Structure 1
Amino acid sequence: MPPPPPQYGGYGGYGADPLAGMPPLAEPVRRIAARVLDWLIVAIPLAIIGIPFHIYERVTRNDDWNNAVNSFNGGSQLIFQLITIVAYVGYDAVMVAQKGQTLGKKWLKLRVAMLNDGSTPPMNASLVRAFVLWLPALICCACLWPLLLLILILLDKPYKQGLHDKAAKTVVVTVPH
């Protein structure tokens, strides 16, 4: 009878579990709640800032789709889209690089950690994570992208990583009380 295979550990190989000694992985429900809080923290100020950019004009008119697409108010909606991307990506990247936590994660006692050693992600990893997390949702796939990330978090073994975590080589763990 052949010996059992070595225990999986980390990216691309076998060996010791990189989570050994780290707090437990975060439960998906707490991750979702933290993400909703973070979304609101950025969305509410953006909703107010968007008024002078006329972002609500398209939804209040009865014009057909072509007229709505062709009326970007002299580019103000495009500028607002860029502001939105910078706000979400910047908020997430800066907060995670500073302490490993956005406000939502802090309130729900979670943090982002580097998979290899549990440290706070550096700015380059935080930016990669934030871009993969927010950019597709803000540009084209507002409903499908978050759903895809959630499915991957629920199905991923053993680290419960979404694509944003895999791209940055991070995990989300609980913060000891």
Structure 2
Amino acid sequence: MSNDQPPTGPPPDEDPLRKRPQEPKEPGGPTPPPGNGPAAGGSSPYDSPYGGTGGAYGAGGGGQPPGYDAGAYGGPYGGADPLAGMPPLAPFGKRVLARLIDMIIVFVPLVLISLFFGGIEGTYGGDDWDEVADRVNSGEQWLWSLITLVAYIGYDTIMTAKNNGQTLGKKIMKLRTAMLNDGRVPDVGSSFLRAAVLWVPALVCCYCIWWIVIVITVLTDKPYRQGLHDKAGKTVVVSAAQ
């Protein structure tokens, strides 16, 4: 009979705390739910847009922001929810305030430029409606409309694409524009399309009516609160609060 004592503790292969390699999944096996593992290639597209690693929107966030239910909506056509792990959708009131701030930021320089060139005539004397029509349809008026259009579209496009999806208004209100499918910052093409759909009708033909249409679509769209400009750019507006 051998006097050797059996080794203390479980054999190495039976250590319950040992990290073992993952077994390859069989075809047709269960698919893990989104958001429970690391994104391919490292960090998730829903990590903080200001740098760093960790959970969604902030180092050490550890997952979804408080109060946001990733499965509350369900994805389009019954698929996975593209907002899983995304911060909460932006409140409508904050979106309106952010848009008003941006409009003022662009409007004030335009007014100063117009004053430098003699101002834009907003009143007409007498009852000569032909004269009014001639002035409205003049080349000078069309040129000014084009300058205004370029200013608003350019501002929205550049700020959205080059500033983490934030215009100055959105930055003040702690919001940002993100691509719906993966949360990344919209590229120049998506930002331009979004801005063009928003501003061309508003400044060229439809004026107040177009803003009413935008407001209605944001309020009634389910589940992502997309206005027509958001749908054109495939974007969504979310909270960027830290």
Question: Does the alignment reach a TM-score above 0.5?
Answer: yes
Q: Which amino acid aligns with 1:155?
A: T
Percent identity between matched residues is 53
1:70 to 125, 134, 156: 134
Q: Which amino acid aligns with 1:119?
A: R
Rounded Cα–Cα distance in structure 1 between residues aligned with 2:127 and 2:142:
19
Structure with the higher fraction of residues in helix conformation? 1
Contact 2:124 2:132 in 1 (8 A): no
Higher mean Cα deviation, 93-102 or 53-62? 53-62
- The aligned counterpart of 1:90 is 154
Unaligned runs of 5+ in 1: 1-6
- The aligned counterpart of 1:18 is 82
Alignment deviations for residues 71-105 of structure 1 (CA, whole Å, 9 cap, x no partner) = 25962221111100000000000100112010000
Q: How far apart are residue 68 of structure 1 and its match?
A: 1.3
Q: How far apart are residue 142 of structure 1 and its match?
A: 1.5
1:27 correspondence with 2:91: yes
Contact 2:88 2:238 in 1 (8 A): yes
TM-score, normalisation: structure 1: 0.89
Please tell me the root mean square deviation across aligned C-alpha atoms, in Å. Answer: 1.8
TM-score, normalisation: structure 2: 0.66
Q: For 2:222, what is the secondary structure of its paired residue?
A: coil
Rounded Cα–Cα distance in structure 2 between residues aligned with 1:143 and 1:64:
26
Q: For 2:177, what is the secondary structure of its paired residue?
A: strand
Q: Trace 1:43-58 onto structure 2 (pairs within 5 A).
A: 43-53=107-117, 56-58=120-122
1:9 correspondence with 2:75: yes
Contact 1:101 1:112 in 2 (8 A): yes
Higher mean Cα deviation, 49-58 or 115-124? 49-58
| Structure with max Cα Rg | 2
- Answer 1 or 2: higher relative contact order, Cα 8 Å, separation at least 6: 1
- The aligned counterpart of 1:4 is none
Rounded Cα–Cα distance in structure 2 between residues aligned with 1:29 and 1:39:
15
Q: How far apart are residue 61 of structure 1 and its match?
A: 3.2
| Residues matched between the structures, number | 169
1:101 to 163, 166, 169: 166
Q: For 1:50, what is the secondary structure of its paired residue?
A: helix
In structure 2, the CA distance between the partners of 1:157 and 1:94, relative to structure 1 (3 Å rule), is same
Contact 1:95 1:102 in 2 (8 A): yes
Q: How far apart are residue 63 of structure 1 and its match?
A: 4.2
2:100 to 36, 49, 64: 36
- The aligned counterpart of 2:227 is 162
- The aligned counterpart of 2:196 is 131
Q: How far apart are residue 8 of structure 1 and its match?
A: 4.2
